[in-house]
């Protein structure tokens, strides 16, 4: 499995699979008890991770200085996004604008973290 095309096809099928599973989980959660548990967002973030990996696998398979710079910049920038998400969630919860359970909050927060870092990979791959 050293061929780049094989990796891309695998990641594309994985992204489609996780999108279908995540969408199905959301539809079932809403139809059964009108309440989203939070883990559905993690499945959708896995779909995003697979889609980003399908896009970036030709660049990331080389693992040169450019790829290391992209990963470093994305991780350090992602830290500031994570802190922003934390502050925003604390404000929204303290002012009672949103009402979330701990499981819902952790699911959304984790999905945001994972999605942000991988979207920053795409952003910095285009920039550098």
* DSSP secondary structure letters along 27-88: HHHHHHHS---SHHHHHHHHHHHHHHHHHHHHHHTT--HHHHHHHHHHHHHHHHHHHHHHHH
pLDDT at site 80: 95
Q: Quote the pLDDT of residue 2.
A: 62
Number of domains in the chain: 1
Structural domain range at position 110: 4-127
**Per residue of the chain (128 residues), what is the pLDDT tens digit?**
468 889 999 999 999 999 999 999 989 888 888 787 778 899 999 999 999 999 999 888 888 898 999 999 999 999 999 999 999 999 999 998 988 888 889 999 999 999 999 999 999 998 88
- Pick the closest to residue 74 from 114, 15, 45, 14 (CA basis): 114
Helices 39-60 & 65-94 angle (0-180, nearest 10): 160
């Amino acid at each position: 499995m050293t061929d780049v095309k094989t990796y891309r096809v695998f990641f594309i099928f994985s992204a489609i699979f996780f999108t279908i599973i995540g969408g199905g989980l959301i539809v079932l959660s809403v139809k059964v008890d009108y309440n989203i548990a939070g883990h559905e967002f993690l499945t959708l973030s896995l779909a995003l991770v697979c889609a980003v990996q399908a896009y970036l696998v030709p660049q990331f398979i080389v693992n040169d200085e450019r790829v290391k710079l992209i990963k470093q910049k994305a991780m350090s920038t992602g830290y500031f996004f994570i802190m922003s998400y934390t502050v925003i969630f604390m404000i929204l919860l303290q002012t009672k604008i949103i009402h979330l359970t701990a499981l819902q909050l952790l699911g959304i927060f984790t999905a945001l973290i994972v999605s942000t870092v991988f979207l920053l990979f795409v952003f910095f791959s285009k920039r550098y």
